[in-house]
């Protein structure tokens, strides 16, 4: 079922293989008809993750990049929309030579060809494929059929099928295996036989439960893996290692351990030893679905590991702030990305509160733009300052640049993916990054209006990063405060447990210093 943890399971299994010295390339299959996740509502689908080539994808691709230490492209995300588009284009060109185009073999052949092409092009030792959805869904049937065919076409040792199921606990505390039995029965009815069954359960699977699943589902008992609740998702690979999933997989695929990397274990050990706590408010409008800000939460975790503290997030609805007096008992305030006018005044109020009370502040994308608007209104004195996205004004400090208007007319949308940013020396940004050229991922359309930059600078706002030869502002900071920084790009998308995002590291460090100073004074 949805939300069971297939993505974390796949990423964790992949991490075990990476730690044994193998190059693992991930592919996520999403059965929805959308070409990509770019137009999806965060309330329904969670965060839209942006890849280096600008493709907007499902948040599971973010887990893969963080767990496996890889950077993937849009070709690593297969959707029903992409497959049918490719098949129809081939049919229109006459590639099928007049055949009747059908699900089998044409659609399934396209799926298999796509998977094998990506594995080959990336020089993968192992290609990790996650099939989204639920067994029995109409949407996922062509993909499951393609996998069934691949299972017969590949050598037995070159193919392993991991099935993730739910083991609920009833009111008497008994672990129920019937959902797993029925799920495996459904899977076998379409010709797929699982090699491993990963069982999601709130508590560790009992040996008796494992034996029952092994008996009724026809898998060895060592292939029944307990995926009980973890205190943190980064512990899941280690839990799987304790369950000897790594040993079972390499035996199944007739592989050997080429290495024994300890990097992941060291990260989890640091995570477990953390004692200090900082409280940071995330002021947004999608807070009812925490997955809408998943990469930000993960970037906080990475920065917390580096600074030896745990980041506790306080979720603040920006619309509520518009109607109430603002007083936040936190060590830092973050304004995330977003779109649309709803809740913007609440976010601007929070930025003003952070700046005037010297509370560490980090703005991301839309948060960067609103920081410019807040400064223009309350420091420069342009009370009508705003974005042209929302209204016509004498001071459209955020606007669409002429070249972007031309792109939009030709059917383009946003600036997406990796873009090089020049970082100005002797600034906070340069201190954080330690270099003058960085590459970060973008997802936006509007920019700081060049017409007003000099006035903003005169009143103390510093633009410490830029791109496009200085035409586009990328980083701002306000040196009067202990930490006031915002980025037009999304630094959270490139943050990793072993390579945390510099803006997040600096922000969490400043929040921790503030927390310690307050405790000391009290």
pLDDT digits (tens, 9 = 90+) for 160-174: 999 999 999 999 989
- pLDDT tens-place string over residues 508-519: 999 999 998 887
Catalytic residue among 217, 365, 374, 442: 365
Structural domains of the chain, with CATH: 6-265 (3.40.50.300), 275-521 (3.40.50.880)
Q: Which is it for the CA torsion 442, 361, 315, 229, positive or negative?
A: positive
- Return the structure tokens found at 322: 């518009």
pLDDT of amino acid 411: 47
CA dihedral sign of residues 365, 366, 372, 375: negative
pLDDT at 195 over 80: yes
Predicted confidence (pLDDT) per residue in 397-415, tens digit = 999 887 666 555 544 568 8
Question: Please, which residues bridge with residue 284 across strands?
Answer: 317
Count of all residues that appear for the chain in the document: 522
Q: Over 50: is that where the pLDDT of 213 sits?
A: yes
Cα first-last separation, the chain: 49
**Model confidence band, residue 60 (pLDDT cutoffs 50, 70, 90):** confident
Active site residue: 47, 56, 145, 492, which one?
Answer: 492
DSSP 35: S
Q: Is it the case that residue 45 has pLDDT exceeding 80? A: no
Active-site annotation holds for 490: yes
Instruction: Tell me whether residue 127 is one of the annotated catalytic residues.
Output: no
Q: Which residues lie below 8 Å from residue 492, measured CB to CB, with a gap of 6+?
A: 295, 296, 298, 299, 364, 501, 504
Of 250-254, 337-341, 384-388, 438-442, the range with the lowest mean pLDDT is: 337-341
pLDDT of 366 > 60? The answer is yes
365 catalytic per annotation = yes
Give the pTM: 0.92
Mean per-residue pLDDT for 382-386? 94
Confidence at residue 124, expressed as pLDDT on a 0 to 100 scale? 93
Of 54-58, 136-140, 288-292, 441-445, least confident by mean pLDDT is 288-292
């Amino acid at each position: 079922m949805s939300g069971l943890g297939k993505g974390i399971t796949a990423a964790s299994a992949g991490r075990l293989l990476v730690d044994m010295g193998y190059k693992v390339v991930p592919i996520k299959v999403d059965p929805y008809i959308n070409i990509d996740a770019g137009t999806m509502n965060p309330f329904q689908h969670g965060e839209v993750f942006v890849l280096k080539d600008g493709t907007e994808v499902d948040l599971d691709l973010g887990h893969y990049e963080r767990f496996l230490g890889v950077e993937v492209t849009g070709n690593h995300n297969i959707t029903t929309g992409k497959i049918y588009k490719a098949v129809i284009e081939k049919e229109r060109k006459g590639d099928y030579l007049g055949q009747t185009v059908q699900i089998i073999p044409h659609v399934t052949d396209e799926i298999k060809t796509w998977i094998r092409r990506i594995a080959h092009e990336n020089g993968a030792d192992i290609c990790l494929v996650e099939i989204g959805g639920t067994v029995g869904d109409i949407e996922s049937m062509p993909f499951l059929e393609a996998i069934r065919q691949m299972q017969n076409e590949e050598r037995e040792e070159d193919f392993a099928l991991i099935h993730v199921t739910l083991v609920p606990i009833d009111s008497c505390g008994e672990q129920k295996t019937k959902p797993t039995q029925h799920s495996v029965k459904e899977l076998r009815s379409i010709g797929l036989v699982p090699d491993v069954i990963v069982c999601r359960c709130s508590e560790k699977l009992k040996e008796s439960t494992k034996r029952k699943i092994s008996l009724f589902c026809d898998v060895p008992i060592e292939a029944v893996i307990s995926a009980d609740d973890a205190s943190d998702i980064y512990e899941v690979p280690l839990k799987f290692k304790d369950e000897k999933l790594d040993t079972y997989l390499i035996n199944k695929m007739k592989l050997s351990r080429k290495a024994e990397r300890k990097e992941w274990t060291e990260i989890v050990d640091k995570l477990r030893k953390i004692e200090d706590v900082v409280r940071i408010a995330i002021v947004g409008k999608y807070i009812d679905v925490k997955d809408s800000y998943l990469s930000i939460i993960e970037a906080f975790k990475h920065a917390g590991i580096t600074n030896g503290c745990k980041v506790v997030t306080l979720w603040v609805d920006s619309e509520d702030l518009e109607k109430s007096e603002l007083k936040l008992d936190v060590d830092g305030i973050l304004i995330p990305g977003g779109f649309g006018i709803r809740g913007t005044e609440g976010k601007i109020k929070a930025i003003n509160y952070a700046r005037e009370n010297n509370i560490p502040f980090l703005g991301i994308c839309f948060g960067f733009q609103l920081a410019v608007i807040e400064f223009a209104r309350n420091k420069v004195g342009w009370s009508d300052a705003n974005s042209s996205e929302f209204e016509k004004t004498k001071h459209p400090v955020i606007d669409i640049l002429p070249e972007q208007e031309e792109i939009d007319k030709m059917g383009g949308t946003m600036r997406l993916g990796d873009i090089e940013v020049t970082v100005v020396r002797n600034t906070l940004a340069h201190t954080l990054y330690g270099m003058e050229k960085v590459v970060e991922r973008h997802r936006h359309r509007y920019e700081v209006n060049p017409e007003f930059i000099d006035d903003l600078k005169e009143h103390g706002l510093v633009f410490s990063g830029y791109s496009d030869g200085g035409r586009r502002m990328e980083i701002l900071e306000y040196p009067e405060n202990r930490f006031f920084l915002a980025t037009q790009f999304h630094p959270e998308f490139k943050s990793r447990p072993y390579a945390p995002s510099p803006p997040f590291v600096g922000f969490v460090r400043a929040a921790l210093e503030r927390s310690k100073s307050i405790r000391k004074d009290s």
